[in-house]
Amino acid sequence: MGINQNYKLNIIQWYPGHIAKAEKNLKEQLKSVDVVLEVRDARIPLSTRHPQVPEWVGSKARVLVLNRLDMVSVQVRQLWTNWFKNQGEEPYFTNAQQGQGVAAVSKAAQAAGVAVNQRRKSRGMLPRPIRAVVIGFPNVGKSALINRLVGRRVVESAARPGVTRQLRWVRISQDLELLDAPGVIPAKLEEQEAALKLAICDDIGEAAYDKQLVAAAFVDILNHLYATAGDVLPDCPLRSRYELDSTSYTGESYLHALAELRNQGDLERTASQLLTDFRKGLLGTIPLELPPQ
């Protein structure tokens, strides 16, 4: 999707103070961790990839979790599974709110940690619980995943970015301990197309962006996806929900047309409605990214 001039004039940047502190603490704690559970948003698996994670993880075992499986179709999940396997990775799809796929993640984390205790045993040391850390961008579902892994609500979880602010250890079983870490995000969002997708998916704070521009970008991204990969997507959700097809509009002109049709020309209200409907899944199973060709 080509980003038009309006987006370039409204650069999205979001880096709350608590994140810088959390990142420093996280790097310290990583020294004592055996396994890293990296959680991404299944709608935007590439845009929620933190560029420094490979450097932080080093040679430690890593389990890739793509959360919000309910928001992408089975066909799209299969495309991503195939793509990640070609990159040498096994993705685990979860719906942390409902608990789907969580048992497989727990099993993968414990399996990845078996080698740790085998090494301890070979040195004459006693086995200990595997230490895992859950990391990822804000609001991708890390806390909900931890609550599901533990089987009860042990950390605060909310549908907004920036709720977790402190690092804390949670005992899951006699075999597994988890470190809950605040969301980490690059200090500078270099890729503005990725930043727009983070904003659309509510993975960064609302103060960082102009809602009307982001809603218009959402329509442009959808139009581009339907033009290039419509065969793997459901019928155009905007037409069925709002009775106004978007394909003959730019994102900006569609927002204006939809505002006139539904909200007496109120652009801000229309932008909010578009974004909220997408975030709540009311537009159906719509990814914002498909695997690179």
- Would you state the pLDDT for residue 16? 65
Tens digits of residue pLDDT in 188-211? 777 788 889 999 999 888 878 899
Give the model's confidence band at 78: pLDDT under 50 very low, under 70 low, under 90 confident, else very high.
Answer: very high
Question: At residue 261, does pLDDT exceed 70?
Answer: yes
Q: What is the pLDDT of residue 11?
A: 67
pLDDT bracket for residue 143 (50, 70, 90): confident
* pLDDT-derived band at 129, boundaries 50, 70, 90: confident
Q: Mean of the per-residue pLDDT values for the chain?
A: 86
pLDDT at 17 over 70: no
pLDDT of amino acid 176: 84
- pLDDT for position 166: 60
Whether 44 has a pLDDT exceeding 60, the answer reads yes
pLDDT tens sequence across 26-42: 888 888 889 999 999 99
- Predicted TM-score (pTM) above 0.85: yes
* 2 pLDDT more than 70: no
- Predicted pLDDT of residue 155: 61
Per-residue pLDDT at 10: 60
Dump pLDDT digits (tens) for 229-250.
Answer: 988 888 888 999 999 999 999 9
> Residue 160 — very low, low, confident or very high, per pLDDT cuts 50/70/90?
very low
pLDDT tens column, 86-96: 999 999 999 99
What's the chain look like in SS3?
A: CCCCHHHHHCCCCCCCHHHHHHHHHHHHHHHHCCEEEEEEECCCCCCCCCCCHHHHHCCCEEEEEEECHHHCCHHHHHHHHHHHHHCCCCEEEEECCCCECHHHHHHHHHHHHHHHHHHHHHCCCCCCCEEEEEEECCCCCHHHHHHHHHCCCCCCCCCCCCCCCCCEEEEEECCEEEEECCCCCCCCCCCHHHHHHHHHCCCCCHHHCCHHHHHHHHHHHHHHHHHHHHHHCCCCHHHHHHCCCCCCCCHHHHHHHHHHHHCCCCHHHHHHHHHHHHHCCCCCCCCCCCCCC
Q: What is the pLDDT of residue 163?
A: 42
